[in-house]
Structure 1
Amino acid sequence: MSKTIIQGTVVTPPNLDSEEAVNEYKDTGATFQSTFINVVNTIIGAGILSIPSSIHGTGLIGSLLLLVMACLFSICGAFFLIVSAVYTKKDSYGDIGQTLYGTTVRNISIITLILYEVGVSTAYSVILFEQVLDLLSVWGGFNSATLWRNRWWITYVATLLFSVPLLCMKSLDSLRYTSFGAVLCIFLFVCISIYLGVTQLVKEPLHYNLFPSDSSQTAVSMTIFSSALCFHTNIPKMVRELKYPKATRFATKVHKMFRIGTTAAISCTSLYYIVGAFAYFAFGNEIAGNLLTNFQHKGFWYLEIVKFAYALVVIFSNPVIAFPSVYVIDKVLFKDERNWRRRLAESLLWCTVIWFIATLVPQLDVVFSFTGATGGILLLYVLPSYFYIAIVKRVRKKANSAALSLLGPSWLYWAAHCLIVATLIEGCISIVTQIKKLTGSS
């Protein structure tokens, strides 16, 4: 077998001379249904609270176009990453980068993944802490001022009780039941949003923008939509855990995982738009960056039920979101298999860091704008495309028919280049726009 020296690192390409080597048949593992549920849970979550605000900023038609574009870009990035995971047989961004390019890309991938998931986990924790304090006040009868003064230790206790135990799980597939619970809870939120939107339309329609009122908002909303459609961070691990027996209707493991990802992405895109549009119908220009703020201002009788349901969504979703980072940190520090003590210690450390940050950055739209414009762009589009380009070059050089079956149409090679350029430009524009917005400059 040949070896390629890249950036001072000896990289041994995988041996894919047979169909069985390409597909890596596996009679046990995560099923189609359990993987689909975990993908949906990875996508839906805190992002749904910032979508209505983005729809307000970009308009009903403009946001629909941007959401569709973000979905297409997300699906392309997912395909490139699925191919990369199957080809390299690695279960993390860092290991894929190491195999294809060497140590430098490995380190960039790991750092980007951790920073991105710190941002997303922070957004989830912000929501959870708000709901915990509010529910303790309403259902527990505690004084709001007292809760606020003691919020540091109260929210940390909530972190220890709700976040750490689930993040200790050994595999992503073991979180399928909590993912199913999260999906069930989110439907309550969806139904209420639709009800409020229809009620307002029947009573007295408000003023609604059809297109962006501010051109600078477009790039920011695009990165928020992209961040809200991210399940890519879990793809390498999901591919590794996915059950793929010889008796299957899918031609390759790539096809099976891509079917799961595409179905989930399209479903969640539709759900995002429905929730966002009807929430915009309900609140119009008064829509807040965090939709639960609008619910609270209106004082709906079912407010606490919604808060409790969404707290459950966050509790059940956060472990799926943070799992790749905690897993890769363990892989960097240790070489042997994780035991329960290491999983507990790593989960405790991760959740403590997130708890601290969440108390300092409570603005959900700020968190999602910056994470989407920085780490999100790299993880969803740039790195998957970069990996795919390297694989295409290698496979075409060998002219291996078994490996060629993984790559898809030939035009995807050039599409990967275009995706890198387009999304990097988008990310730069969004970062500049967000900085100007925060500093108050014109």
Structure 2
Amino acid sequence: MTIGSLAPAPAPAERKRSRKGKEVEVERLPLLPSRREGAGELSEFNGASFAGGVFNLSTTIVGAGIMALPATMKVLGLVPGIAMIVLVAFLADSSLEMLLRFSRAGKKTSYGGVVDDAFGEVGRVLLQVCVVVNNVGILIVYMIIIGDVLSGTSSSGEHHSGILEGWFGMHWWDGRFFVLLVTTVAVFLPLACFKRVDSLRYTSALSVGLAIVFVIITAGIAIVKLLCGNISIPRLLPNVTDLASFLKLFTVVPVIVTSYICHYNVHTIENELEDSTQIRPIVQASLTLCSTVYITTSFFCFMLFGDDTLDDVLANFDSNLGIPYSSFLNDAVRVSYAVHLMLVFPIVFFALRLNMDGLLFPSAKPLSSDNQRFTLVTVLLIALVFSGANFIPSIWDAFQFTGATATVAIGFIFPAAIVLRDPHGITMLRDKILSVLMIALALLSNGIAVYSDVYSIFHGSKASPQA
């Protein structure tokens, strides 16, 4: 089953009424057998709720990005940094609105279907490749952060101990490889076995709650220290002294862009809604919630740690914060977010598996009806992510790679290109102007970011906030 293989919305006569009396479009339920293949299983599903949609989409958005965004404040300063978060949120909302509008016009029920409608099979396959690259990179980031939190990390030559090391001391069983192996087998594999995204609504709700707990604790610590006079308002503007420092400003763009990409899951969530017209309010509510979390976290974390903010800000929570119960609060922050990422993992993995299956088995029957293929694809992808997390040392490296390539294509270039292609003649002048602007900004900023990385390599410095 591919990202573009979900059938168009059926005619009214082909629809099935749920127990609540509302129409459920049978063919729009992803990863499930069609009515001809298993009407019995389908009759148990009455449609996802608004709250479930918000939780699942918000969980798709708020993942590892929240941990890397404070480091972008160190590069940009607070004012440009917050402005960039708001700008990218606006662009993400616009691109999602365009995508949903063209999916309705073409009666398509997947992102790949919309791309196929505009550019044919080649475009759909290219999109699937981008989703696979993006999601593999994001899931590797999740595992790296979980490893940093539980087993510790060494950044800029300084060792930051993990929770297990702090609690029990250094042992073979609290090393990164073993901890990630246990987490993968005990947590990721079971959660990856769900075949419907709405089945993850409870874990998504818990993950959003844990992200908010992280924000509340961090804000509380920063406010207490500010009132006690132990910290001051952080730098508001970037510190640009030469060409290298100017180019480094653009390296944060892929990180911020990566933090808002949810386009690969929005149709899956819409297809399972009891009322599909709720998808726009769900998108807007999710983006508002996530932007608030991003801005609050970036502000208070940068206030706490200033220019000592690490690529993964969780690694900063391993020292004395200068307030009572510092050790307890450090552990609470790190544990809450590590568990949050464990619960985010399956919803991002859901789209990864769907698209990888589409690339490997484009003509096969639906994935849910073939348990052997479902298991094979699941195990192979988790093994790939696990291997990457053990060989890539920094979340900044992973973010820049995916953010400068596949992520920008998924979030901005493909939606803008669809609008400019305009296969159904519904594009307005405002849409065309915004689409050209999105493509230009994406190509320019990421081209400069890649150039900055190459420039830094040849000049012996690392293009990250630690440089």
Tell me whether the two structures share a fold, i.e. TM-score over 0.5: yes
- 1:333-357 alpha-carbon deviations (Å, 9 max, x no partner): 1521223443333222111100101
1:327 Cα deviation from its structure 2 partner: 0.9
Cα distance in 1 for partners of 2:248, 2:99 equals 29
- 1:381-413 alpha-carbon deviations (Å, 9 max, x no partner): 0001112333x3x323xxxxxxx5xx6x55213
1:222 aligns with 2:253: yes
Q: Which runs of 4+ in 1 moved over 6 A?
A: 13-18
Cα distance in 1 for partners of 2:338, 2:310 equals 19
The one-letter amino acid of 1:412's match is D
1:153 Cα deviation from its structure 2 partner: 4.0
The one-letter amino acid of 1:270's match is T
- 1:208-259 alpha-carbon deviations (Å, 9 max, x no partner): 22112233233222221111111112122222222227xxxxxxx3xx3222
1:441 Cα deviation from its structure 2 partner: 5.0
Cα distance in 1 for partners of 2:334, 2:109 equals 35
| Residue number in structure 1 paired with 2:377 | 346
1:271 aligns with 2:297: no
RMSD of the TM alignment (CA)?
A: 2.8
How does the TM-score come out when normalised to structure 1? 0.84
User: Which stretch of structure 1 is more off in the superposition, 357-366 or 118-127?
Assistant: 357-366
| Residue number in structure 1 paired with 2:154 | none
Q: Contact between 2:88 and 2:260, CA under 8 Å: does it hold in 1? A: yes
Q: Secondary structure at the match of 1:296?
A: coil
The one-letter amino acid of 1:296's match is D
Of residues 343, 349, 358, the one that matches 2:389 is 358
Of residues 345, 348, 356, the one that matches 1:329 is 356
User: Which stretch of structure 1 is more off in the superposition, 71-80 or 231-240?
Assistant: 231-240
1:212 aligns with 2:238: yes
Q: Secondary structure at the match of 1:415?
A: helix
| Residue number in structure 2 paired with 1:369 | 400
The one-letter amino acid of 2:287's match is A
The aligned runs of 1:104-143 (5 Å cut-off) are 104-133=122-151, 134-139=162-167, 141=168, 143=169
Q: Residues 437 and 298 of structure 1: is their aligned pair in 2 closer, same or farther, counting only changes over 3 Å?
A: farther
Gaps of 5+ in 1: 1-12, 246-252, 397-403
Q: Residues 89 and 358 of structure 1: is their aligned pair in 2 closer, same or farther, counting only changes over 3 Å?
A: farther
Q: Contact between 1:70 and 1:222, CA under 8 Å: does it hold in 2? A: no
Of residues 57, 75, 82, the one that matches 2:93 is 75
The one-letter amino acid of 2:293's match is L
Of residues 109, 112, 115, the one that matches 1:94 is 112
Q: Contact between 2:258 and 2:407, CA under 8 Å: does it hold in 1? A: yes
Cα distance in 2 for partners of 1:348, 1:56 equals 38
| Residue number in structure 2 paired with 1:435 | 454
How does the TM-score come out when normalised to structure 2? 0.79
Give the percent of matched residue pairs that are identical in Structure 1 and Structure 2. 21
Cα distance in 1 for partners of 2:430, 2:120 equals 26
The number of residue pairs the alignment matches comes to 404
Cα distance in 2 for partners of 1:195, 1:136 equals 25
- 1:124-162 alpha-carbon deviations (Å, 9 max, x no partner): 0111223343344345x3x525246x5434422321111
1:34 Cα deviation from its structure 2 partner: 0.7
The aligned runs of 1:13-162 (5 Å cut-off) are 26=24, 28-133=46-151, 134-139=162-167, 141=168, 143-144=169-170, 146-147=172-173, 151-162=176-187
Of residues 342, 345, 355, the one that matches 1:315 is 342
| Residue number in structure 1 paired with 2:34 | none
| Residue number in structure 1 paired with 2:317 | 295
Q: Residues 17 and 317 of structure 1: is their aligned pair in 2 closer, same or farther, counting only changes over 3 Å?
A: closer
1:199 Cα deviation from its structure 2 partner: 2.5
Q: Contact between 1:35 and 1:242, CA under 8 Å: does it hold in 2? A: yes
Of residues 169, 173, 176, the one that matches 2:198 is 173
Q: Secondary structure at the match of 2:213?
A: helix
The one-letter amino acid of 2:95's match is G
Q: Residues 154 and 67 of structure 1: is their aligned pair in 2 closer, same or farther, counting only changes over 3 Å?
A: closer
